[in-house]
Copies of this chain bind each other. A is one copy, B any other.
């Protein structure tokens, strides 16, 4: 496989897994078949669509390449038919989801730097791309986005985006640096899951009613 075929394949695996996570959440919210497909597609493609919109590269890449649109449909069918099994394979889904997070964040940050954004803007686009699909999924399903509440998820994306910017500023933004960064994001996410790491929450909330 050439480099770009590898990249495409990895990208589609990420899309598939993000779609599985979106589809599972939609099944639990008792949406119908079409609702499951919509939520799965939004979860899988939403981050990339936000990225391309922010970088003024619309129509979004995914809308111009049909495999990106077929993969979420396939994932929806799988979830719809075999959701008890997919649920039971939750650990595998979480592992693949962590890999997707690393991949999407790294490529989006790199794309943003190439589009001329500085480190702060590129980091923001990278994080938005990594967590955007999951945030849209939760908004559609009327949840406060889980990535904003607990677990080191967005922080892993933030670290990845920062490392890509660092690589860029020291002119090391080649394949090894990018792959290494994606692996770091993946490792941080896996460690956070295994050790139940959480970002700190504010103190002194006793005197305030929750929203």
Contacts and interface: CB of A to CB of B under 8 A. Distances in A.
B143 A211 contact: yes
B32 A149 contact: yes
A188 interface: no
A66 B142 CA distance: 32
A155 interface: yes
Contacts of A202: 27, 30, 33, 36, 80, 83
| Copies of this chain per assembly | 3
Contacts of A115: 59
Interface in A191-208: 198-202, 204-205, 207-208
A25 B155 CA distance: 20
A134 B208 CA distance: 21
Interface residues of A, number: 71
A68 B150 CA distance: 26
Contacts of A39: 148
Given A38-B148, A66-B121, A120-B69, A56 B54 contact: no
Interface of A: 25-36, 38-39, 41, 49, 53-56, 58-60, 63-64, 66, 69-70, 80, 83-84, 87, 112, 115-121, 123-125, 131, 135, 139-145, 147-150, 154-155, 158, 198-202, 204-205, 207-211
